[in-house]
A and B are shown apart, each in its own frame.
Chain A
Amino acid sequence: EVQLVESGGGFVQPGGSLRLSCAASGFTFSAYEMNWLRQTPGEGLEWVSYINSGDATTYYSDSVKGRFTTSRDNAKNSLYLQMNSLRVEDTAVYYCATKVYGTTYFDYWGQGALVTVSS
């Protein structure tokens, strides 16, 4: 059974940093492209970042580019999202999700991690 479990969410002040982790199991993690997405009541679902399964090429949405960094450790079956210079508008539930190479949809999602940025 595919399982994705996010951790590391919490409360942080504007300008602060937080690191999310996503522990994967039940599938060959190294073979999958991985993504971070986030959801807010006001803005809905938003794609945040992507990392491929091969050379760890990454892409980011304009809203987080330069502030967030996605990485993966295939030996640990883990995905990470380092979030720096956090803003109030980054407040959201963050999901990690799988994507097969060549497809444009997200097969499996984790249960989400809440990040709250507030003073």
Chain B
Amino acid sequence: QSALTQPASVSASPGQSITISCTGTSSDVGSYNRVSWYQQHPGKAPKLLVFDVTNRPSGVSNRFSGSKSGNTASLTISGLQAEDEADYYCSSFTSTRIFYVFGTGTKVTVL
């Protein structure tokens, strides 16, 4: 089972919006609305940002939003802030025996 494909890095200035893509297959992203996104600051544990494609846990800023089309899911961060500088990972439930597959990770840099 290959990892989901994400761009290695994305950068933008404060206040701008960015979108991170997460491309999978018909065995994972394309078949299930079970995509989640995690934010990870250096040396810290991942933090759940979005679950089931579009839902945010309580306490997560509405600047983070998720979507999906076909085999590709996306995370959009609007009004980029300095504290958004981190690594972002997508994950999807999969019909394969490993149950969960993660993305390759995207480093977001706030210029």
By the criterion CB–CB under 8 Å, are B44 and A111 in contact? yes
Does B64 count as interface, using CB distance less than 8 angstroms?
Answer: no
Q: Which of B47, B89, B98 has the most CB of A within 10 A?
A: B98
Query: Count of B residues near A, CB < 8 Å?
Result: 25
Query: Does A106 count as interface, using CB distance less than 8 angstroms?
Result: yes
- Contact residues, B93-111 vs A (CB, 8 A): 93, 97-105
- Does B21 have its Cβ within 8 Å of any Cβ on chain A? no
B84 CB within 8 Å of chain A = no
In the complex, whether B34 has a CB less than 8 A from a CB of chain A is yes
Determine how close the nearest CB of chain A comes to the CB of B82; give it in whole angstroms.
23
Q: B3 to chain A: which residues have CB within 8 Å?
A: 44
Q: Is the interface of A mostly helix, strand, loop or mixed?
A: loop
What chain B residues lie within 8 Å of A11 (beta carbons)? none
Q: Does B57 interact with chain A (Cβ within 8 Å)?
A: yes
Chain A window 29-59, contacts with chain B (Cβ cutoff 8 Å), 1 for yes, 0 for no:
0000000000000001111001000000001
When distances are taken between beta carbons in the complex, the residues of chain A under 8 Å from B34 are: 104-105
> Most chain-B CB neighbours within 10 Å: which of A47, A50, A61, A104?
A104
The CA of A61 and the CA of B3, in the complex, are separated in Å by 14
Inter-subunit contact B48/A44 (CB<8 Å): no
Chain B residues with Cβ below 8 Å from A111 are 44-45
Besides the known contacts A44-B105, A105-B48, 15 further A-B residue pairs in the complex with CB atoms under 8 A apart: A45-B105, A47-B101, A59-B99, A62-B97, A95-B46, A104-B32, A104-B52, A106-B48, A107-B48, A107-B57, A108-B48, A109-B45, A109-B47, A110-B45, A112-B45
Interface residues of B (CB under 8 A from A): 3, 32, 34, 36, 38, 44-48, 51-52, 57, 89, 91, 93, 97-105
- Please give the residue numbers on chain A whose beta carbons come within 8 Å of chain B beta carbons, in ascending order: 44-47, 50, 59, 61-62, 95, 103-112
